Amino acid sequence: YPLRDRTPGSSRISVVAHRGASEDAPEHTLAAYRRAIEDGADALECDVRLTADGHLVCVHDRRVNRTSNGRGAVSALELADLAALDFGSWKEDEDATWEAPDRQHEDPERTSVLTLERLLELVSDAGRRVELAIETKHPTRWAGQVEERLVALLERFGHTRASAEGPPPVRVMSFSARSLHRVRAAAPDIPGVYLMQFLTPRHRDGRLPPGVSIAGPGVRILRAHPDYVAKAHRVGHQVHVWTVNDEADVELCERLGVDAIITNRPKQVRAQLGLG
């Protein structure tokens, strides 16, 4: 493989906590994000969806069934409905052993639904620069409302414009080029990350949809096409890879010179990279 070839502005691999430190705490909860910040993550990844009453909440699946004790689609529920659910105990049930039953579900930071607004507050109070990588989920359903509300919220936090310190501490990720385009139209300084599950012929040479600056391939793409990183770098794009949890994949990413690793285990990945 080619040795790493950093793109300008990228000095070392950035470690991004996928859904928070989601190996150790229930995904998308305040506890998972606090843990990620403590673990030294450079950035936090979160998926956002719009509730029936127009709030952006951090939930991955279309429905709440897997990660809460409730049922139904996020888009059909109001924030108050979500606030009444327990978003943490499923993880404790999954992780608990007979010898060490877990009582952590009594902590509301591990069980409450998280709004994007609350996550932005957490990042503002982190005491160091912590970036946010926000993924718009199924944005076509809402015909632009997800992006509109997202940009309005980011504007309130002063995160839509570059400053003397550099680009905004926020980037928007999506599998939908249209969603990235909408964000860019409203807030051109916010970098866009184009997520890819497969490498289609159109993107094999490293090129991305117009206006998008960062490639977001799944790690399987790099296993199959290790030359992809160099190609993307050659046309000026950073490469942020998901979801990299195995040591062998971290090693592959390091060897290929990716710019960011998105992982459920930021602490272990930092240690492997010699950063922790």
The answer to whether 39 contacts ligand G3P (rule: CB under 6 A) is no
The answer to whether 135 contacts Ca ion (rule: CB under 5 A) is yes
Residues 6+ apart with CB under 8 A from 23: 245, 264, 265
Alpha carbon of residue 33 to chain centroid: 11
The residue of the chain with the least Cβ separation from ligand G3P equals 242
262 binds, among Ca ion, ligand G3P, none (CB under 5 to 8 A by kind): ligand G3P
From candidates 24, 135, 147, 249, binder to ligand G3P by CB under 6 A: 135
Region for 93 from its dihedrals, namely left if φ exceeds 0, alpha if ψ lies in -120 to 50, beta otherwise: alpha
Annotated catalytic residue 203: no
Q: How far is the CB of 103 from ligand G3P (least distance, A)?
A: 29
Alpha carbon of residue 64 to chain centroid: 18
In the structure encoding, which two tokens stand for residue 175, read together?
């599998």
Q: How far apart are CA 4 and CA 255, in angstroms?
A: 6
The answer to whether 147 contacts Ca ion (rule: CB under 5 A) is no
114 binds, among ligand G3P, Ca ion, none (CB under 5 to 8 A by kind): none
Q: How far apart are CA 105 and CA 180, in angstroms?
A: 36
- Interface pattern 170-199 for ligand G3P (x via CB under 6 A): ---x---------------------x----
CA distances from 16 to 20, 107, 139, 262, 275 (A): 8, 25, 23, 5, 13
The amino acid that residue 230 corresponds to is A
Q: How far is the CB of 98 from ligand G3P (least distance, A)?
A: 30
As annotated, the active-site residues are 18, 60
Q: Which residues bind ligand G3P (CB under 6 A)?
A: 18, 45, 47, 60, 135, 173, 195, 242-243, 262
